[in-house]
Amino acid sequence: MLNRFLFICLLLLSITVAADEDQLGQAQTLLESGDAAAAYTILKALEPDRAGETGFDYLFGIAALDSGNPLDAIFALERVVDGDPTNGPARGELARAYLVLGETDDAQDEFARVLAMDLPDEARETIDRYMSNIEIFHDRTRTRFRP
């Protein structure tokens, strides 16, 4: 009787895991097709059970950021970076999330960390553009005193 109960529990657990994986795949497909809002909706429902898993957090962070939920993106991407400080793509997305919230100093720090990594030229150019825009913003918003 006990063996039968354990078998049923394991079967239900494997069905639940497979359903979650199907939803992750569906969210990935939606994100790749440009429907970040739908991907975010799917992933938000999985967050209580999957938060802390690097793959989930990265996917959820991008979906959250691209669907206009930068705070959720920051929390998810910070979990990724805390677990793997050398994860350049997650750091770049985290910097972008900080930028969306207007946290230019934090964004600049994260972009600088990414620039210190080995990057493709295209990624380096994109980050350089972000950094230049942050510098322009800082120059225009600094308080100046003139005698």
Q: What is the pLDDT of residues 92-103, one digit of tens each?
A: 999 999 999 989
The pLDDT assigned to 18 comes to 47
107: nearest Cα among 95, 117, 93, 89: 95
Residues 6 or more apart whose Cβ sits within 8 Å of residue 117: 86, 88, 91
One-letter identity of residue 121: D
Confidence at residue 87, expressed as pLDDT on a 0 to 100 scale: 93
Spatial distance between the Cα atoms of 123 and 93, rounded to a whole number of angstroms:
12
What is the model's pLDDT at position 135? 85
Domains in the chain: boundaries = 2-140
Topology adopted by domain 2-140:
1.25.40
pLDDT recorded at residue 130: 86
Could you read off the pLDDT tens digit of each residue along the chain, which spans 147 residues? 545 554 454 444 444 444 557 888 899 999 999 999 999 999 999 999 999 999 999 999 999 999 999 999 999 999 999 999 999 999 999 999 999 998 989 999 999 999 899 888 888 898 888 888 888 887 777 666 566
- CA dist 73 and 78 (Å) reads 8
Distance CA 142, CA 146 (A): 13
The 3-class secondary structure across 77-115, one letter per residue, is: HHHHHHHCCCCHHHHHHHHHHHHHCCCHHHHHHHHHHHH
Residue 127 is encoded by which pair of tokens?
Answer: 């980050």
